[in-house]
Structure formats: C-alpha cells, structure tokens
Amino acid sequence: MTTILWVDDEIGHLQSHIRYLEKRGYKILTAGSGRSALDILRTSRVDLVLMDQMMVGMDGLETVHLIREHNHTLPIVMVTQSEEEELMDMAIGGQVDDYLTKPVNPSQILLVIKRLLTGERLRTQRAAREIADQTSRMFEAQAEGMDWHGWVDVFRSWVEKDVASEGELSSEMKSIQKARIDDLAIGFSKLVESNFPEWIAATGSNTPLMSHNFLQRVVAPKLESGGETVLLVMDCMRYDQWLTISPSLENWFFVDTSFMLSLLPSTTLYSRNAIFSGMLPRDLSRFYRHKWTEEYGVSGLNRHEPEFLKDALRRLGCGYSGDPEFVKVTTRREGEAVMHSLSKHLQSGFMAIVVNYIDHLTHGRSELDLIRDLAPDVRSFRRLAETWFRSSFLRKLFQTLAARGATVIVTSDHGSVFTARDTRISGGRNIHGSIRYRYGDSLVADPKAVVTVREPAEWGLPNETPSKMYLLARSDYFMMFNNVPRGELQKFRNTFQHGGISMQEMIVPSVVLTPKSRG
C-alpha cells in the first residue's frame, strides 16, 4: 500500500481530504509539525510527503531542507496559501517536486500523487498496450503481405517508447506476450529472406534506402546543394543509442530522421564498405580484387575506404570534384585532433568521419567481464553509450559544425542484437565468419534459426566458388558448432553481436542535421 505523510499544523481541518485518499487505497500518516514529520520519517516507510508551508515553529521550507539531508529521492509536494513568485522559487530551490496553492480540492491532490508515484508506470503500461495492439495488427497485416515500411514503423515506435520509458517497456512487453514478440522477430527475418534479393536489385523510389545506395540517395543531393557537408558514420550504433544522443543536438540542429537497411551480413566489412563505395560486396570483390577481401579476422580490412569514397563520388557526378577528406576516430586524442584541424578538413566543403567507439564498446562488452558487469542488459548498455557521448569530443564537434553552418549526415553501418539462443551448425572445413553469420561449403543449420543463402550473387555477395554459401542467424540466435565446449557457449550468450538478420542490426538511423539560424 502507498503511504502518504501529510504535514500541516491544522491537520484536523483536512479530514475530508484524508478520507478521500484512503478510499482510493492510500495509507495516510499525519504530522502537526515539522518535528513530528521528521520523527515519523525516522521510523516509517513513506512514499510521498504533502508539506504545508506556513506552520507554527519550523516552517515547510526548513522541514524540507532537513528531510533532504537523509531522503534525497522522496517526492515532496509543497502546499501553501501564498502565491508569491519568490516563495515558489524558494520551494523549487528547496528541492520540492511539485507546488500546490490553497485552497486545494481532493482531486488536485490525487492527480499530483498519481503523477509523481505512478505516472511513469502508467505511461509504460499504456505504451505496452499500444505496442501489443500494433503487434496484433502486424500479424494480421503479414497475411496480406506487409511491406518493409510497416516493419520500420513498428520498430521505430517500439524503440522510441522503450527509450522514453527507460527500458521498462521491454520488461512490460515480455511479461505480456513474450512468445508473440519472438514470433515478430522471426517474422522480420522471413520478410528479409523473401525480399532481400529484390531489394538490392531494384532502383525504384519505393525500395529501401540501403548501404550501397546511401551515397546516391542521401549524400549526393546535399553535395549538389552546396555548403559544408559532413558525413558521420557511427560504427555499430543502434537506433536506441542514437535516441539517447539526439536530444542534446536539438538546440543546434533541425533533426530529420529516416531509416536505412544494412546490407547482409550486417558487419563493418560488408555494410560500411558498401556505404563508402556505393557498391554491393559482390561488386566490390570484382572491381577492387586486391583491395577488398573477405578474410575474416584480418586487420585493416577497411583501410581502402577513402579510395572507395573518392571513386564513388566521381561515378555519381554530383558536382563534387575534390578529394574528400576521410578521418577515422577511435580515441579521444584522435577526436580532439579532428576538432583542432576542422577548417583544414573542410577546405573542399566535404569530409567523412568514422567513429569507432560504440563498435569497440560492443566487442569489448563480449570480451571483458568489467564492461559486461557495467552493462548487463540493453538498457544499461544504452546508458553507457549516452554517458560516453556527453563527455566525448563528438558533442563538441556537433556544436562547432552547427556554428559553422555545416549540414551533418549521420548514420550507422549496422546495429547489434542481444543474443539469447544458440543453434548448432555443421559443415566442411573451409568455414569463416562469426557467430551471427558463416560462409563456406556444405553448411548445415536449422532453418527455424538460420537463413541459408545458396545463391550468394543474388544477395549481393561474392560467389567465387560454385559451392559457396552463407548462413545468417535470425532474431537473437547465435551459431555454434556441435563440438563447442559449454564454457565457450556461455561466453557468447547474452552478448551484443551483429552479422545476422534482426531489426536491431539492420534498421539503422539515417539522419540529416540542418543547423539552426542564430540570426
């Protein structure tokens, strides 16, 4: 039962209000003075305090000050007859959570109690019901062939509501309909399985924005319009992580958010190289035979991206004739160096920046127990990324670019998914890749957990041998061989991984930031 402490030196005159609250399930404790209130708080659990300001002896503001010495998060509502602005400022400065002016009616008090104690919970429950209804409509729409726009809409709605509820929505939804959510995730993988070859082959305006056409459809038009333009690729950034970053940019930019689908496998080698080259991996392997390779685990696989970008812009003929500046930032020192030489980098009017921090954080979480302890789930991992951004060079860079009047295009090459379920695979010796994707010969996997690509060229993937095939994990599955020890299995469960087919990996933000005029 929720307990309210009502502090007023004329508490006897408030019995009708107290009975009103008691009938609605609240336990009401009363105190006729500030001293009595402090005594009660030392011995009783209280969820909220209603504090009268004008009391004989210790007044409300002084009482609040003493309460806050030991109760920093306890909600306190000041109730007073005074409407002076100075008193209101003093009350807010004294760390009260709300302010009511007498005479108050019971419904006013009930409203403020609900807002402070159950507001977030009620909003989360409402959001969960909305998502549940949306999910039901999606299952009905799937039978009628819902397109990729519908999937992006529900993903966006889900993530935005979850971030707004600070992660409580995901917990609420799992308790309501976990099986249906799992089915929804598998449903997205089936959509991709059925349509991906058509998506990458199509050129119409209704086809998804994807890694290999991002330069043509988003970057090139901005270059043609003139002015300074910066392309910022946040390696491995999920949409929910972007939502924790973007509010702090709204003071400087107009934020226009849309979405891009990552190529498959949803990893840097394929999707990020495709962004900068404007090519599918299949074509990259042909045109840059000695500069692009699938050798998994080899360092420097992305070192030719500056050349890829230069060639792509020339092919597009978007009016940009210079050599684009290309910078990769992994450390704070490298980021500060970019800041110090920003004017030089932007002499030609365009530069591309790759920020690797979130990617390193993602992989580090899988490998380092300390990071896994700091970020054991999606919500805490999201907060870790937000904390980094607040003190990073990147925030200052955004502010500086806005002051220069530069347009900033922000995207990610892919996101990541929180793995939960393992599935076993088998095959020949010539097998490469990671736990979310594999390629090689004679691969065998459970079709419920894995999409098998037997014609790589149709999926925009290299097909240098007739027997080559790919496996792409669905939903939150990760692939392990049959003879893997149990300890190795536990190492990868509940980690953030990428390379497979999930909304969290494939649906990434495509954002255009237009600086606000300060005139």
Q: What DSSP designation does 210 have?
A: B
Would the pLDDT of 214 be above 70? Answer: yes
Assess contact for 106 and 20: CB atoms under 8 A.
yes
Confidence of residue 377 (pLDDT cuts 50, 70, 90): confident
Arithmetic mean of pLDDT, 299-322: 83
In angstroms, the Cα distances linking 3 to 40, 65, 69 are 12, 21, 20
- Quick one: pLDDT at residue 430? 81
Indicate the domain borders of the chain. Answer: 3-104, 121-197, 209-417+505-515, 421-493
In angstroms, the Cα distances linking 350 to 100, 130, 322, 344, 442 are 54, 43, 9, 11, 46
- Quick one: pLDDT at residue 300? 66
The CA-based dihedral angle spanning residues 56, 62, 67, 69, taken in that order and rounded to the nearest 10 degrees:
-150
Tokens of 422: 């393992």
Residue 426 Rama label (left phi>0; alpha psi -120 to 50; beta): beta
Tokens of 380: 């805490």
Confidence of residue 143 (pLDDT cuts 50, 70, 90): very low
Higher pLDDT, 374 or 442: 442
Q: Per residue in 418-433, pLDDT tens?
A: 998 999 999 877 888 8
Q: How far apart are CA 185 and CA 187, in angstroms?
A: 5
- Whole-prediction pTM: 0.78
Rounded to 5 degrees, what are φ and ψ at 119? Answer: -60, -50
Q: How far apart are CA 499 and CA 415, in angstroms?
A: 9
Per DSSP bridges, beta strands 421-426 and 444-445 are antiparallel
Tokens of 161: 């509501």
Would the pLDDT of 375 be above 70? Answer: no
CATH placement of domain 209-417+505-515: 3.40.720
Instruction: List 259's β-bridge partners, or say none.
Output: 509
In this structure, whether the domain defined by 3-104 belongs to CATH 3.40.50.2300 is answered with yes
Would you report the helix, strand and coil content of the chain in percent, each value rounded to 5?
A: 50, 20, 30
Q: String of b and e for 258-267 (b: at least 16 CB within 10 Å)?
A: ebbbbbbbbb
